[in-house]
Amino acid sequence: QKEVEQNSGPLSVPEGAIASLNCTYSDRGSQSFFWYRQYSGKSPELIMSIYSNGDKEDGRFTAQLNKASQYVSLLIRDSQPSDSATYLCAVQRARQLTFGSGTQLTVLP
């Protein structure tokens, strides 16, 4: 059974702070890792993808992957109220994504 676990939150951070989101996965055969943002009632929107161990930065977002620990994280620097959403961790094996239940982030003005 493939599992992707996330803290459901809610996670609240003040505007301008760093938000840290974490995810663990059970399937060691997982190949690719994604962070999606989902606003209430909307579809998932791709934020970051990462494939190899280490850090990957894109603007205010940094994804970190540690395959030995089966751990993926997302850091959001200089958090803005518009970043308030549910963040979904997704893990890919073959041609399917397995999603976590998401972490609800609120950025307080």
Partner 1 sequence: EPEVTQTPSHQVTQMGQEVILRCVPISNHLYFYWYRQILGQKVEFLVSFYNNEISEKSEIFDDQFSVERPDGSNFTLKIRSTKLEDSAMYFCASSEGTGGAGGYTFGSGTRLTVV
Q: How crowded is residue 47: how many other Cβ atoms within 10 Å of its Cβ? A: 19
Q: Which of residues 21-60 bind partner 1 (CB under 8 A)?
A: 31-32, 34, 42-46, 49
In this chain, which of 29, 82, 95, 109 binds partner 1, going by CB under 8 A? 95
What is the C-alpha separation between 55 and 41, in angstroms, rounded? 31
Number of H-type helices and E-type strands within the chain? 0, 11
Instruction: Kindly state whether residue 7 participates in binding partner 1, applying the rule CB under 8 A.
Output: no
The answer to the question of residue 98 lying near partner 1 (CB under 8 A) is yes
DSSP assignment letter at 18: P
Among positions 52, 69, 82, 96, the unique one binding partner 1 when judged by CB under 8 A: 96
Binding site for partner 1 (CB under 8 A): 31-32, 34, 42-46, 49, 88, 90, 92, 94-102
